[in-house]
């Protein structure tokens, strides 16, 4: 598209375009943004032009939502001064100004170029006109991402004098930064190697759990010499000193717990002598709020981890008398134990501490076993050798992988009545004799209850990189080979204070950028296949743990093996790879009673039907049959930052954030809040959650309890709420004292769960909800209907206080793991009152919705009965089925529903098929406006859904805007 005409005057910028055939049907606002980008650089500027009536179609002002046709002439008659003012992206505050110069405060996100262009709208009255003799120039310059003070000259003469002061070092600038690590302010050797071109002041340290360094440093940098460097140069210095500034650009480094794109750097003070009066000028500002927010957040996380460590140590009778520092030896080495897959394992300094990431390998093996079991894989096997499930654990260490799998299978968590179960055997290899002793000790601890002898496991000294030379594994036909090899790059040194410095380096580091042991394992397996040593079966699986961003290279190493599946961890990294040998690579491997078919599948020599392939066994999710009861293990809450994972992964589900709502009666709400808010205040203090109850609405019996915080905190909060309700029965007199309930007294909570997430909680064939009930001992009942004008359903949890805590934890875990399904949920609001009636022919069916679930169920039944009497079309229903519904909308929310030129309400009318009219004036003293909806039951319900969805989106937008408005650099 080309300009048909372009003309410019001193005040207006006139641009013209003609709509082509391929652009017909486009809305005007989109057309303008796409075709006038050189002038209209953002949607915000475009909307401002519409407000001023500067955009015309065929010579007439037009609305932004207008649909264009071929041949329409689009004219822009833009006021250049107004446009220039609009282009100033963020506000600037003037702190000092006279006729010669000014000092202004620039927020992060404003470039020096945009600031200089907009100075005419800030200085000398701010009318946008540069007066005769004036020339605005920014003297000291900072990056776009930096908050700070900028000195502005107003004339060319003053510019020359100020630039002379700057180059001579007579302008003193003080930056404040937050950098990673504990900056060595008194280390002479460090400063000999990294001599800074500035002075350092006011250095303070804050404990952190987000990175390897365990600290963040706040320090002030003073630039006052002739060779003063720029803000970019300051960043580069700290990168070279291995203490990068916190931020997200190429010369900074993010905090793992803070993905804020801001750079933690601000110019807080400038001092200089006035070039005319010689008076000393000193201007200072406070540091941006985001600096303190980051420090407090890091300190809060550190204190939480410290308290967890102290609690763990006290469990073993170990008291900490001195200040607990983040550099202490890992807790597991002090206590001698570590929790893994809900079992506690002995550990010592001779072995690596079990990691949460390794639990993915355990789950993968269990999934394979259960899928084989469910498919009837072992049902018709003819001899004992075939009726076996065997695991080879290479580099077993504490034995946590192998023992966790054996414990799961042998502890009868899978109850079998008709299905034949195989003999299960695990073989652990390690070159470390001390590790083998620990592994045998752990096996004795966890498996002795289920076996009379040691015919289910064996731990032997051996090198998994030379399996082809290790006769003990030859002709064993293992079903699974599992390995978590060392994979940290040996060239990478760990920072001081990293807990991994206490672990044996041979268990962590590998040469060849961390890939050495993957290559050696691949090579020894290839040798074993070439020699037909039958270590593995034809359809065996290899399950490997890999480091962050290592998966693709490991797949390349295992040439001739197919990667069936890559399992991602909670951070989204590929953590577990599952391989099977390509059928084309198998050359005559001698596996008893199993023969390879032409298509690569395997079949039993005693059965005419083919056995499941590795693909089908592992790809298909496990489904429990009617004569099986399956309980899936839940990974334990791990202290990942005290004992870092192999790749610095931090955080587990226990510390994940969650908001969980529940439905309570008015009386229950009173008990939860307590006198003068005492109970809810104690709840917040004890658990660290944010908790509140919706306001009382006359005639509404339900209120909504909201609890937000970490998963552990929310679960504990609901258990305390349940305890409070037991101690203070709602039918007791107001002044009665709390009672002491029986130890196993039952109560219930009614959780509000998005309809879209119910499948996550219930699971396939009810497996997940049954598991939650099994592990918690609670009973759960899920409602079939959604609550009025919402997409939430009730899940009632009944049981003891502890049962409710465990059940809520499990439910919260499901919600966190599948949180994307909850996007767009319309929240239940019992405070909204809706009147619903048939049209004049059905006045006797007038209903008032009070926010109670029974109202909705009754009306939904009416809808279903009426549906059978009407057409499916939204626009061609019989007049007797038309319903009229009225809803009240707060006055400040009406605009967001109507939209620009009625665009949003028109869209709701179109999608729902209902007629929607809006009262011009409020209907009562509350100021609320009445929306009247007319249409079929289905159309009205869809209209209500869309209206409430729009309301919730607007609420979220406003909350987000308020939250982001707190920082001075926002």
- How much is the pLDDT for 159? 93
- How much is the pLDDT for 926? 63
Average pLDDT of span 356-382: 81
Packed helices 711-727 and 678-687: angle between N→C axes, nearest 10 degrees: 150
> pLDDT tens, 798-847?
988 888 999 999 999 888 888 777 766 778 887 544 444 333 333 333 33
Query: What is the 3-state composition of the chain as percent helix, strand, coil, each rounded to the nearest 5?
Result: 35, 25, 40
Fold of 883-963: Ribosomal Protein S8; Chain: A, domain 1 (3.30.1370)
Fold of 332-376+383-412+422-581: Rossmann fold (3.40.50)
Residues of the chain with CATH 3.40.50.150: 332-376+383-412+422-581
SS3 911: helix
CB atoms within 10 A of CB 266: 30
Residues of the chain with CATH 3.30.1370.10: 883-963
406 pLDDT band (50/70/90 cuts)? very high
Question: Count of residues for the chain?
Answer: 970
- How much is the pLDDT for 598? 32
- How much is the pLDDT for 862? 45
Tell which CATH architecture fits domain 12-86: Roll (3.10)
pLDDT at 595 over 90: no
Beta strand 657-665 pairing with 702-710: antiparallel
Q: Across the chain, what does the average pLDDT equal?
A: 77
Fold of 89-186+195-292: Pseudouridine synthase (3.30.2350)
- How much is the pLDDT for 848? 36
Average pLDDT of span 627-642: 35
Tell which CATH architecture fits domain 657-728+745-822: 2-Layer Sandwich (3.30)
Average pLDDT of span 149-173: 91
pLDDT at 849 over 50: no
Average pLDDT of span 773-787: 85
> pLDDT tens, 281-320?
999 999 998 888 888 888 888 888 777 777 766 665 665 5
10 pLDDT band (50/70/90 cuts)? very low
- How much is the pLDDT for 851? 39
- How much is the pLDDT for 519? 95
CB 776 within 8 A of CB 761: no
β partners of residue 427: 392, 458
Best CA proximity match to 46, nearest among 62, 22, 59 = 62
pLDDT at 690 over 80: yes
- How much is the pLDDT for 970? 31
CB 722 within 8 A of CB 873: no
> pLDDT tens, 339-353?
898 888 999 988 999
What is the DSSP code string of 665-716? Answer: EHHHHHHHH-GGGHHHHHHHHHH--EEEEPPP-TT--EEEEEEEEEHHHHHH
CA of 301: how far to CAs of 178, 326, 334, 640, in Å? 17, 12, 22, 12
- Cβ burial 944-966 (10 Å sphere, 16+ → b, else e): bbbbbbbbbeeeeeeeeeeeeee
- How much is the pLDDT for 101? 94
CA of 192: how far to CAs of 188, 232, 241, 717, 794, in Å? 6, 22, 11, 54, 66
> pLDDT tens, 734-756?
667 778 787 678 889 999 998 88
pLDDT at 434 over 50: yes
- Considering only 578-587, 765-774, 834-843, which range has the smallest mean pLDDT? 834-843
CA–CA dist 482, 541 (Å, integer) = 8
Residue 120's contacts (CB-CB under 8 Å, 6 or more residues apart) are 84, 126, 127, 128, 129, 130, 136
CB 320 within 8 A of CB 329: no
326 pLDDT band (50/70/90 cuts)? very low
CA–CA dist 96, 457 (Å, integer) = 79
Beta strand 602-604 pairing with 594-596: antiparallel
- How much is the pLDDT for 864? 40
Considering only residues 538 and 953, tell me which one the structure prediction assigns the higher pLDDT: 538
Which residue carries 């390690």 as its tokens? 430
3-state SS, 864-908, equals HHHHCCCCCCCCCCCHHHCEEEEEEECHHHHHHHHCHHHHHHHHH
Average pLDDT of span 140-145: 85
Residues of the chain with CATH 3.10.290.10: 12-86
- How much is the pLDDT for 606? 35
């Amino acid at each position: 598209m080309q300009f048909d005409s372009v003309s410019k005057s001193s005040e207006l910028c006139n641009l013209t375009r003609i709509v082509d055939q391929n652009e017909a049907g486009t809305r005007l606002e989109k057309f303008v943004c796409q075709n006038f980008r050189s002038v209209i650089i953002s949607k915000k500027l475009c909307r401002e032009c519409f407000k001023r009536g500067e955009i015309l179609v065929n010579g007439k002002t037009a609305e932004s939502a207008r649909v264009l046709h071929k041949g329409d002439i689009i004219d822009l008659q833009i006021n250049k001064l107004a446009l220039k003012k609009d282009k100033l992206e963020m506000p600037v505050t003037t702190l000092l100004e006279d006729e010669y110069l000014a000092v202004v405060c620039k927020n992060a996100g404003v470039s020096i170029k945009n600031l200089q262009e907009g100075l005419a709208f800030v200085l000398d009255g701010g009318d946008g006109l540069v007066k005769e003799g004036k020339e605005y120039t920014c003297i000291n310059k900072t990056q776009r991402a930096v908050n700070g003070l900028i000195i502005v000259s107003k004339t060319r003469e003053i510019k020359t004098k100020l630039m002379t002061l700057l180059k001579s070092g007579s302008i003193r600038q003080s930056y404040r930064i937050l950098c990673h690590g504990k900056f060595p302010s008194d280390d002479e050797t460090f400063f000999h190697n990294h001599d800074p071109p500035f002075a350092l002041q006011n250095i303070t340290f804050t404990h952190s759990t987000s990175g390897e360094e365990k600290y963040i440093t706040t320090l002030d940098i003073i630039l006052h010499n002739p060779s003063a460097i720029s803000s970019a140069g300051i960043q580069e210095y700290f990168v070279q000193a291995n203490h990068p500034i916190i931020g997200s650009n190429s010369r900074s480094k993010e905090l793992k717990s803070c993905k804020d794109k801001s750079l933690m750097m601000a110019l807080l003070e400038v001092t200089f002598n006035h070039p005319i009066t010689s008076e000393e000028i000193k201007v200072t500002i406070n540091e941006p709020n985001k600096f303190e927010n980051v420090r407090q957040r890091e300190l809060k996380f550190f204190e939480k981890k410290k308290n967890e460590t102290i609690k763990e140590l006290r469990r073993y009778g170990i008291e900490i008398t001195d200040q607990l520092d983040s550099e202490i030896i890992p807790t597991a080495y002090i206590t001698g134990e570590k929790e893994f897959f809900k079992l506690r394992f002995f550990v010592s300094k001779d072995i690596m501490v079990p990691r949460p990431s390794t639990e993915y390998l355990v789950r993968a093996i269990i999934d394979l076993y259960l899928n084989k079991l469910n498919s009837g894989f072992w049902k018709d096997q003819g001899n004992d050798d075939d009726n076996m499930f065997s695991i080879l654990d290479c580099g077993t260490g504490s034995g946590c992988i192998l023992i966790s799998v054996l414990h799961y299978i042998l502890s009868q968590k899978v109850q079998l009545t008709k299905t034949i179960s195989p003999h299960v055997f695990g073989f652990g290899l390690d070159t470390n004799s001390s590790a083998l002793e620990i592994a045998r000790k752990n096996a004795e601890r966890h498996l002795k209850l289920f076996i009379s002898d040691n015919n289910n496991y064996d731990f032997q000294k051996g090198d998994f990189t030379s399996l082809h030379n290790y006769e003990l594994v030859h002709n064993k036909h293992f079903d699974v080979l599992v390995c978590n090899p060392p994979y940290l790059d040996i060239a990478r040194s760990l920072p001081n204070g990293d807990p991994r410095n206490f672990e044996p380096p041979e268990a962590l580091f590998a040469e060849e950028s961390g890939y050495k042991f993957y290559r050696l394992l691949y090579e020894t397996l290839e040798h074993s296949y070439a020699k037909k040593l039958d270590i593995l079966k034809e359809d065996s699986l290899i399950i490997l743990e890999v480091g962050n961003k290592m998966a693709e290279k490991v797949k390349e190493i295992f040439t001739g093996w197919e990667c069936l599946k890559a399992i991602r961890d909670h951070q989204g990294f590929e953590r577990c790879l599952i391989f099977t040998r390509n059928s084309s690579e198998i050359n005559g491997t001698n596996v008893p009673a199993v023969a390879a078919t032409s298509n690569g599948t395997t079949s039993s020599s005693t059965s005419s039907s083919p056995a499941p392939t590795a693909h089908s066994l592992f790809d298909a999710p496990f489904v429990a049959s009617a004569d099986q009861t399956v309980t899936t293990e839940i990974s334990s809450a791990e202290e990942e930052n005290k004992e870092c994972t192999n790749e610095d992964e931090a955080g587990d589900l226990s510390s994940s954030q969650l908001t969980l709502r529940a439905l309570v009666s008015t009386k229950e709400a009173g008990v939860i809040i307590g006198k003068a808010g005492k109970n809810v205040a104690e709840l917040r203090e004890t658990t660290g959650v944010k908790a509140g109850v919706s306001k009382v609405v006359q005639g509404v019996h339900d209120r909504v309890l909201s609890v937000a915080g970490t998963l552990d905190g929310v679960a504990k909060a609901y258990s305390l709420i349940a305890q409070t309700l037991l101690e203070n029965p709602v039918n007791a007199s107001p002044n009665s004292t709390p009672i002491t309930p029986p130890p196993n007294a039952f109560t219930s909570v009614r959780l509000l769960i998005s309809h879209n997430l119910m499948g996550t909680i219930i699971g396939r064939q009810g497996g997940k909800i049954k598991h939650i009930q099994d592990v918690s001992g609670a009973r759960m009942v899920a409602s079939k209907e959604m609550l009025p004008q919402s997409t939430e359903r009730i899940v009632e949890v009944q049981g003891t206080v502890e049962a409710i805590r465990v059940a809520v934890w499990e439910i919260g875990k499901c919600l966190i793991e599948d949180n994307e399904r909850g996007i767009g949920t319309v929240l239940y609001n019992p405070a909204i009152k809706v009147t619903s009636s048939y049209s004049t022919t059905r006045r006797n069916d007038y209903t008032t919705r009070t926010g109670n679930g029974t109202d909705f169920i009754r009306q939904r039944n009416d809808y279903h009965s009426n549906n059978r009497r009407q057409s499916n079309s939204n626009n061609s229903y019989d007049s007797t089925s038309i319903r009229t519904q009225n809803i009240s909308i707060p006055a400040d929310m009406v605009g967001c529903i109507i939209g620009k030129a009625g665009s949003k309400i028109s869209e709701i009318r179109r999608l729902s098929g209902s007629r929607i009219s809006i009262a011009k004036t409020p209907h009562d003293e509350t100021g609320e406006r009445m929306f009247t909806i007319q249409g079929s039951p289905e159309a009205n319900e869809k209209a209500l859904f869309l209206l409430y969805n729009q309301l919730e989106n607007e609420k979220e937008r406003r909350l987000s805007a308020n939250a982001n408005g707190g920082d001075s650099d926002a």
